[in-house]
Amino acid sequence: MADKIEKTSDKHYEDKFEFPLWKLIKQRAEEKGISYAKAAPAVVAEYTKTIKYRDPEFEDKVIMARAEELNELGKKEEKLGIKFKDKKSK
Amino acid sequence: MSLENIDPVLCNGCGICVDSCMVDVIRMDEENEKAVIQYPDDCMSCYFCQQDCPEEAMYVSEVKHPPLFVAWG
Amino acid sequence: MTDDLTEIADKVIETDVLMIGGGVGGCCAVAKAKENGLDVTLIEKAHIDRSGSAGQGIDHYEGFFTRDGTTTLENVSNEDWRLGRYGVRYPNLNVKYRLYKCQFWVFEQLEKLGVPMRWDDGEPYWIPFPFVGWERRKTGLRVHWTNIKPILGRAVRRSGARILNRTMAIDLLTTDGKVVGATAVNIRTGEFIVIKAKATLIATGKLMRLYNPETPMPWKYKFRYHFCPASSAGDGYALVYRAGGDLVNMDINAWTFRIRDDLTCSYGSFSLNDGVPMKTYTWDGEEIINPNATRYKQLEDEGKTPIYFGFDHFSEDSHKRLEVAFADERMLSFKVAEERGFNPKTHRYELQDLSPTGFYRVSGIYIDENFRVLRGNEPIEGLYAFGDGSAGGTSGVAGAATGGLLLAEDLPEILKDMDEPEIDISQVEEHKQIALAPLAVEEGVEPLELESAIRDICERYVGMFKSEGKLREGLRRLGSLKDWLGKLSAESPHHITGYLECRNLLDLAEVHIKACIERKETRGNYFRSDYPEIDKDMDGKFFSQRIENGKEIIELREPIPLKPEYLKDAEEEKAELQTADAAS
């Protein structure tokens, strides 16, 4: 990331962007004449279907990949004399 | 002040925001049955009123914050 | 006697159960106690529909244990996740044990109250946990609880309990050492209320407001706390302390990462993010392991701070999960981020520096496993506490809900043979005088000014790096603030809230500083510059503080161990686990 983005912030704050889920919540609230809070549950329920929450195989894969990265990082820090305390690790 | 305006045209007088506000900033104007900002200084900009308003009548402002220091990418 | 009372009070209520605080815990307790046939009165400083730390919604519910060997009954009862390794323990191990034992019953109870525990497809979603052999630990649920408070509010209204919104407790009423109810004031009308109760329950959230929140205008924007600012004044702690109950571990306040600038409050799911944690960076882009306080101090000395969270490694799927977490807890984070042009796909979140936050998990009101508030080793009759404000692991939404439900289940039996409470009129008169005094003060000091002064003392003279001299100077300055209380003015009943909160904060700041003076060691994230080593004799021990006959008492205590029957249960479970392990 560091090489992709310059170490200045202003530029990035000019970019307009929208959260897709927020847009959907606002749309539903508008259509139904209800509050954002009331609109959210139905929209969230639909939105979660587009996310791989119920795909344990996929989840395990990404979790394992990230855990490996963290383990490597932990070893690197330990070599530097930094105590990495994750006492619950098996 | 963070809750800057309650649009009297959009406000339908339902009073939900009066209950949503945990610090008692908003009250009902008995005469015209619209929500009004009674104690603006106490607003903590939690946005609950905006989140619960069915008519999008609440405007919680970002403008009056001091400049914020945000992370660079 | 009631005749006299009605002359002093605008309203007198007689009830079986008085619940002070209508957050998740309070609402659960009230609905259940009412279902169990008791007469119940709930007082809430705000309005039950959006009050408490869950007002903004909740995205995760922790509190189950699993049999995978990582969260057995034995180790959850023994250790606090963060502090355990530093030798700071829960003051009473039995509380946590009791909570964990009934989680699936609580799951059902919450569903009965209309709380969505399962997702749309009829199944709960268990949060996969990183680190621990990356197996699916069934300890926490991802929940879509944007509207948990309106849902519980509805359940309470349906139960038929007496609800007094916008009503703040002034003090507890005591007779012969028993708690017999409380006095309260309606902050809209100024109505002075006396509530006579057989059991008084306290669940008013955790104390946060002795320190500044993560915002450039800490004296004003109290919402920049992670938790509900209205509940974070520690009202319950102060009520218990003044009524003679013990507060424990008031020197140990937490230091955990918070995100600066209010960019999100949805922290629970956010940081673990369904098993794919964010990356932590130093200011110059070096990835590091999420540091503890000691490591953070090193980083600070090396010039590596601030620290940031980054999400650039996230897949589209993970980014969508973040969005769902936003929607579930503090939805208006979307608006804040968009208006500031802050895009999590391209930006990093700055984290707070090394400064103290609230008192929770191991700190707060001293209770036993039946949620009775303790005075020394003995429970105070008629007084109960649970939720974030009590010490012993009833924290978080799971702790609050479970504490409330369990206690409400026990109450009918407890109250069965109890006598009618007797009230001491002179106490009532005194409370009335205290609460309504600022209405008569003209051109006085604004409560916010006093609160800022209290927080300034804690920030400057206690803070992260403590020493005897600073603590004593802080205590001296705090003493000089006490006169201010009488100078506070309230233009209308609305302003009484701020005044009563200051009264509570003043007492609690004193308790906090005195506890810090007593703990002469450095342990975990508790730093004493003048005592930089761990004092081995203090392992697992804690201070308790109370008032007895007008005198302040501070005692060093050891945690109450697991009861023999609980221990037996835990051992049996461990053996079962080992057998299962051997078989596999």
pLDDT exceeds cutoff 50 at C126: yes
Q: CA-based angle C139:C143:C147, to the nearest 5?
A: 140
**Å between B9 CA and nearest CA of chain C:** 23
Task: Tell which residue, B13, B25, B45, B43, has the closest CA to residue C336.
Answer: B45
Mean pLDDT to the nearest integer, C18-27: 97
Token pair belonging to C447: 């409560």
Q: Higher pLDDT residue, C127 or C408?
A: C408
Q: Higher pLDDT residue, C155 or C347?
A: C155
Q: Higher pLDDT residue, C218 or C494?
A: C494
Q: Is B38 on the interface with C (CB under 8 A)?
A: yes
| pLDDT one-digit tens code per residue, C417-455 | 888 999 999 999 999 999 999 999 998 998 989 998 999
| pLDDT one-digit tens code per residue, C292-328 | 888 888 999 999 998 888 888 889 999 999 899 889 9
Out of C85-99, C148-162, C216-230, C354-368, least confident range? C216-230
Return the SS3 of C271.
helix
Rounded-to-10 torsion of CA C89, C92, C94, C100 = -50
Return the SS3 of B32.
coil
Chain A positions in Cβ-Cβ contact with residue C144 (cut-off 8 Å): 40-41, 44-45, 48
The dihedrals phi and psi of C546, each to the nearest 5 degrees, come to -155, 175
Check residue C518 and give its pLDDT. Answer: 97
Token pair belonging to C218: 């800490």
A38–B73 CB contact, under 8 Å: no
List of residues 6+ apart from C508 with CB closer than 8 A: C207, C210, C234, C237, C238, C241, C250
Chain B positions in Cβ-Cβ contact with residue A9 (cut-off 8 Å): 70-73
Count of other CB atoms within 10 angstroms of residue B9 = 8
- Please give the CATH architecture assigned to the domain spanning B3-60: 2-Layer Sandwich (3.30)
Buried b / exposed e over C352-369, threshold 16 CB at 10 Å, is bebebbbbbbbbbbbbbb
Burial class (CB in 10 A: 0-12, 13-18, 19+), C133: middle
Domain coordinates of chain B in residue numbers? 3-60
**Å between B59 CA and nearest CA of chain C:** 12
Return the SS3 of C471.
helix
Check residue B66 and give its pLDDT. Answer: 46
Check residue C86 and give its pLDDT. Answer: 63
Q: Is C347 on the interface with A (CB under 8 A)?
A: yes
Query: Residue C202: beta bridge partners?
Result: C20, C385
Check residue C133 and give its pLDDT. Answer: 44
Task: Tell which residue, C429, C380, C377, has the closest CA to residue C240.
Answer: C380
For residue A9, name the pLDDT band (cuts at 50, 70, 90).
Answer: very low
By CA distance, what is C151's nearest residue in A?
Answer: A38
**Å between C398 CA and nearest CA of chain A:** 21
**Å between A33 CA and nearest CA of chain B:** 6
For residue B71, name the pLDDT band (cuts at 50, 70, 90).
Answer: very low
Chain C positions in Cβ-Cβ contact with residue B30 (cut-off 8 Å): none
| pLDDT one-digit tens code per residue, C393-402 | 788 899 999 9
Q: What is the mean pLDDT of chain C?
A: 88
- Measured in residues, chain C has a length of 584
| ipTM of the complex model | 0.91
Q: Strand C372-375 relative to strand C378-385: parallel, antiparallel, unpaired?
A: antiparallel
CA separation for the pair C329, B48 (Å, rounded) = 12
| High-pLDDT (> 90) share of chain A, % | 43
| pLDDT one-digit tens code per residue, C490-508 | 999 999 999 999 999 999 9
| pLDDT one-digit tens code per residue, C65-121 | 655 545 566 665 555 444 555 667 788 888 888 888 888 899 999 999 999 999 999
Mean pLDDT to the nearest integer, C148-175: 98
Mean pLDDT to the nearest integer, C262-284: 71
For residue C277, name the pLDDT band (cuts at 50, 70, 90).
Answer: confident
Check residue A74 and give its pLDDT. Answer: 86
**Å between C213 CA and nearest CA of chain B:** 12
Q: What sign does the dihedral B22-B24-B25-B26 (CA atoms) show?
A: positive
A22–C324 CB contact, under 8 Å: no
Q: Where are the alpha helices (DSSP H) in C350-495?
A: 396-415, 425-436, 447-457, 468-481
| High-pLDDT (> 70) share of chain C, % | 88
B72–A1 CB contact, under 8 Å: no
A9–B50 CB contact, under 8 Å: no
C318 within 8 A of C311, measured Cβ to Cβ: yes
Chain C positions in Cβ-Cβ contact with residue A44 (cut-off 8 Å): 144, 146, 324, 327-328
A25–C125 CB contact, under 8 Å: no
Check residue C355 and give its pLDDT. Answer: 84
Q: Where are the alpha helices (DSSP H) in C160-314?
A: 235-242, 268-272, 293-301
By CA distance, what is A40's nearest residue in C?
Answer: C327
